């Protein structure tokens, strides 16, 4: 029965898994400003329309990132459960993969882990119990829990390497699409890794606000520098200024960003916060979510498509006007900022900063789950209206 179930998922996994390349980090409490662990993922995929789902499960319910057409909650790409356990992944192309074995089941593994795991050690036991040709993994899994755990597991069907972020020199692990335990100099994402590592290394302590405000939207290239963001306003909107972003953290294929701000060891897992920015990060705003609300705001799930994702996609088409081949990897910076003040990035960053501040103040009041539900719904609606407003201005030619 188990093998039949896995074969069903394998049949669909070639479609579900297409084009998965992500930039991630696992940060232990030792490296953060408030001693709470963090986990981050920019999801790069061919499935550009994502949504957030709440999955009512036993023993643990969870909220998670899913492809737009996923409704079962059995295949997810990052998430947080009610115990404060969070998980994400990035494909590690230099780990072993046998052609006659199961593969591409990482989305299934993460949903299963969110349903069953309370701690980092629970996830390790899960891997041990399921090791073998049917596991279907070639991936780095980042996990945190409410007990101080923050680890990266480099996993293939017949083994894994556990790396504890608290034991790393700086207390965190940045990762893209290779594993240190895999074949040397193979895999991909090395330029994204260098850029993300530089940004983390520049901070004495790391916060979720820093990741959300600065890292998820970064389009720098460590080998070919571009104008720093504070100089984009010097550009003229009369002439496009294209930059190539294939090797950037924020890319044409970035479908969303996911950040979980966990709780200190022994803290109340109700307050573990999952921040989700649906759409390419340069075109959207992260919204805070909590599992104890047992819900997801409509703008993040929608009916056919998540409304926030739809509005973000409209902005994306303005800054990435090319559709042919790899031309979509070119981004026009003048759509984001310029000296005529017709770009949206300053407005977007200002709104994101405001939401981060308001959320921090809200959580200091020790809200109950009903209050948290009302707050996340209000923020999601506000973000949707903000993005709609930007698109209306551009449609009218006001910006």
Looking at residue 13, what is its pLDDT? 43
Environment class of residue 11 by beta-carbon count within 10 Å: exposed (0-12), middle (13-18) or buried (19+)?
exposed
Asked if pLDDT for residue 293 goes beyond 70, the answer is: yes
Looking at residue 256, what is its pLDDT? 98
CB atoms within 10 A of CB 305: 16
Token pair in block for residue 229: 């963001």
Torsion of CA 145, 150, 152, 157, to 10 degrees: -30
pTM: predicted TM-score of the whole model, two decimal places = 0.95
List, for residues 113-147, the tens digit of each pLDDT value. 999 999 999 999 999 999 999 999 999 999 999 99
Looking at residue 326, what is its pLDDT? 86
The stretches of the chain forming alpha helices (DSSP H) are 2-16, 106-116, 120-130, 190-201, 208-210, 298-301, 307-319, 345-363, 369-395
Asked if pLDDT for residue 214 goes beyond 90, the answer is: yes
Looking at residue 324, what is its pLDDT? 85
Which pairing describes strands 159-164 and 172-175: parallel, antiparallel, or unpaired? unpaired
Looking at residue 2, what is its pLDDT? 42
Give me the residues paired with residue 152 across strands.
142, 163
Token pair in block for residue 11: 């049949």
List, for residues 237-288, the tens digit of each pLDDT value. 999 999 999 999 999 999 999 999 999 999 999 999 999 999 999 999 999 9
The domain segmentation of the chain, as residue ranges, is 2-395
DSSP letter (8 states) at residue 267: -
Asked if pLDDT for residue 195 goes beyond 80, the answer is: yes
In sequence order, what DSSP letters do the residues of 122-152 get, joined into one string? Answer: HHHHHHHHH-STTS--EEEEEEE-TTS-EEE
Helix axes 369-395, 307-319, angle to 10 degrees: 30
Environment class of residue 1 by beta-carbon count within 10 Å: exposed (0-12), middle (13-18) or buried (19+)?
exposed
Backbone φ and ψ for 121, nearest 5 degrees, come out as -65, -35
Torsion of CA 260, 261, 266, 268, to 10 degrees: -90
Please answer whether residues 337 and 343 qualify as being in contact, where contact means their C-beta atoms are separated by less than 8 angstroms: yes
Give the largest Cα separation in the chain, rounded. Answer: 63
List, for residues 32-46, the tens digit of each pLDDT value. 999 999 999 999 999
Looking at residue 1, what is its pLDDT? 34
Looking at residue 12, what is its pLDDT? 43
List, for residues 358-376, the tens digit of each pLDDT value. 999 999 999 999 999 999 9
Average pLDDT, the chain: 94
Q: How many CA atoms are closer than 13 Å to the CA of 27, on its beta-carbon side?
A: 32
The string over 55-76, giving b where at least 16 C-beta atoms fall within 10 Å of a residue's C-beta and e elsewhere, is: bebeebbbbbbbbbebeebbbb
Asked if pLDDT for residue 15 goes beyond 90, the answer is: no
Token pair in block for residue 256: 């969303």
Looking at residue 325, what is its pLDDT? 83
CATH number of this structure's domain 2-395? 3.60.60.10
Cα distances (angstroms) measured from residue 190 to each of 19, 203, 209: 17, 21, 25
323 — pLDDT class (breaks 50, 70, 90):
confident
Looking at residue 338, what is its pLDDT? 97
Q: Report how far residue 244's alpha carbon sits from residue 242's, in angstroms, rounded to the nearest whole number.
A: 7
List, for residues 146-155, the tens digit of each pLDDT value. 999 999 999 9
Asked if pLDDT for residue 60 goes beyond 60, the answer is: yes
């Amino acid at each position: 029965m188990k093998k039949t179930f896995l074969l069903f998922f394998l049949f669909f996994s070639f479609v579900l898994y297409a084009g998965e390349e992500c930039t991630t980090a696992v940060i232990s409490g030792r490296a953060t400003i408030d001693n709470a662990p963090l986990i981050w993922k920019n999801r790069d995929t061919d499935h550009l329309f994502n949504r957030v789902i709440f999955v009512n499960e036993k023993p643990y319910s969870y909220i998670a990132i899913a492809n737009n057409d996923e409704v079962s909650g059995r295949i997810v790409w990052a998430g947080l459960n009610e115990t404060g356990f969070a998980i994400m992944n990035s494909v590690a192309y230099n780990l072993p993969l046998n052609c006659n074995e199961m593969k591409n089941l990482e989305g299934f593994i993460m949903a299963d882990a969110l349903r069953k795991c309370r701690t980092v050690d629970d996830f390790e036991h899960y891997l041990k119990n399921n090791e073998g040709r049917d596991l279907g993994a070639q991936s780095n899994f980042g996990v945190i829990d409410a007990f101080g755990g923050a680890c990266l597991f480099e996993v293939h069907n017949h083994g894994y390497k556990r790396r504890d972020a608290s034991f790393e020199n700086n207390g965190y692990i940045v990762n893209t699409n290779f594993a240190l335990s895999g074949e040397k100099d193979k895999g991909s994402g090395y330029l994204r890794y260098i850029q993300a590592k530089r940004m983390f290394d520049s901070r004495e302590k790391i916060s979720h606000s820093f990741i959300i405000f600065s890292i998820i939207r970064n389009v720098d290239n460590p080998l070919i520098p571009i104008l720093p963001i504070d100089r984009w306003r010097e550009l003229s909107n009369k002439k496009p200024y294209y930059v190539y972003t294939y090797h950037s953290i924020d890319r044409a294929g970035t479908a969303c960003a996911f950040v979980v701000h966990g709780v200190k060891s022994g803290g109340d897992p109700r307050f573990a916060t999952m921040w989700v920015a649906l759409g390419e990060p340069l075109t959207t705003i992260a919204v805070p979510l909590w599992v104890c609300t047992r819900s997801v705001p409509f703008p993040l799930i929608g009916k056919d498509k998540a409304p926030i994702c739809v509005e973000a996609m409209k902005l994306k088409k303005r800054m990435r006007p090319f559709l042919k081949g790899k031309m979509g990897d070119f981004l026009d910076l003048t759509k984001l900022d310029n000296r005529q003040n017709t770009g949206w990035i300053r407005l977007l960053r200002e709104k994101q900063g405001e939401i981060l501040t308001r959320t921090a103040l809200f959580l200091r009041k020790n809200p109950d789950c009903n209050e948290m539900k009302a707050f996340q719904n209000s923020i999601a609606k506000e973000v949707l209206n903000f993005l709609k407003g930007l698109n209306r201005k551009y449609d009218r030619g006001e910006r």
